């Protein structure tokens, strides 16, 4: 007959293994399910000049605040030359990364939504909702001094390849009338992808 201490030891080891599997298997399934979908092959990226700006105090929540650049060089011709890529190789051109950073120490807790839009130079009434390259919402009351914007799924190939310059708008939607002036900076980059299914 097996000693009682050895039976307890086997049961303890077995229960430890069961607990480990109970927690490890869901984690493995989660990791495998969260693999990032690829947008084909990254052909090149284009970093755009940093934009410094000021959001004034007193902007009401029913009004958007827009920082616009009327003519920003797309940079695609030079980037294509350096990467040895033709226009036919590019399936998608869009946002890669964007970030809005407070330079004066205030946070963006009074802002509800931030968008970066792109449209042709000279567009009447500016860029519309269909021209959003990046956005981030649900920011109100979040005390962030740096906000990463999420790229949208739109393809801006025709706009950026068909024009030497584009109009860029950084749009802020306050969640409440702004009570502070924020000195800030926009950093962003676009990217071209090929072999997109």
Please give the structure tokens belonging to residue 97: 């990364």
Dihedral sign of CA atoms 33, 95, 83, 120 in order: positive
Model pLDDT, residue 197: 78
CA-nearest of 75, 87, 95 to 156 is 95
Model pLDDT, residue 2: 55
Model pLDDT, residue 3: 55
| CATH number given to 41-194 | 2.60.120
DSSP-assigned letters across all residues of 49-96? EEEEEEEPTT--TTS-EEEEEEEEE--HHHHHHHHT--GGG-SEEEEE
Model pLDDT, residue 51: 96
Model pLDDT, residue 4: 54
Quickly list H helices, the chain: 4-33, 76-83, 157-161
Model pLDDT, residue 35: 34
Domain ranges of the chain: 1-35, 41-194
Model pLDDT, residue 124: 86
Number of other CB atoms surrounding residue 44 within 10 Å: 22
The tens place of each residue's pLDDT in the chain, 197 residues long, gives 555 555 455 455 555 554 544 444 343 333 333 333 445 899 999 999 999 999 999 999 999 999 999 999 999 999 999 999 999 999 999 999 999 999 999 999 999 999 999 999 998 889 998 999 999 999 999 999 999 999 998 999 999 999 999 999 999 999 999 999 999 999 999 999 998 87
């Amino acid at each position: 007959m097996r000693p009682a201490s050895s039976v307890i030891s086997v049961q303890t080891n077995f229960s430890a293994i069961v607990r480990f599997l109970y927690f490890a298997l869901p984690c493995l399934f989660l990791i495998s399910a969260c693999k990032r979908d690829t947008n084909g092959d990254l052909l090149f990226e284009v970093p755009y000049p940093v934009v410094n700006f000021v959001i004034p105090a007193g902007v009401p929540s029913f009004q958007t605040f827009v920082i616009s650049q009327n003519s920003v060089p797309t940079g695609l011709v030079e980037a294509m030359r350096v990467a040895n890529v033709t226009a036919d190789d590019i399936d998608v051109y869009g946002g890669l990364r964007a970030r809005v950073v407070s330079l004066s120490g205030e946070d963006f807790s009074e802002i509800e939504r931030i968008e970066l839009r792109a449209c042709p130079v000279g567009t009447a009434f500016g860029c519309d909702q269909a021209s959003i390259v990046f956005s981030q919402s649900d920011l109100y009351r979040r005390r962030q001094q740096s906000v990463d914007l999420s790229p949208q799924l739109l393809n801006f190939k025709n706009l950026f390849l068909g024009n030497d310059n584009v109009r860029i708008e950084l749009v802020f939607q306050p969640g409440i009338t702004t009570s502070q002036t924020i000195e800030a900076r926009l950093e962003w980059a676009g990217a071209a992808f090929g072999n997109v299914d």
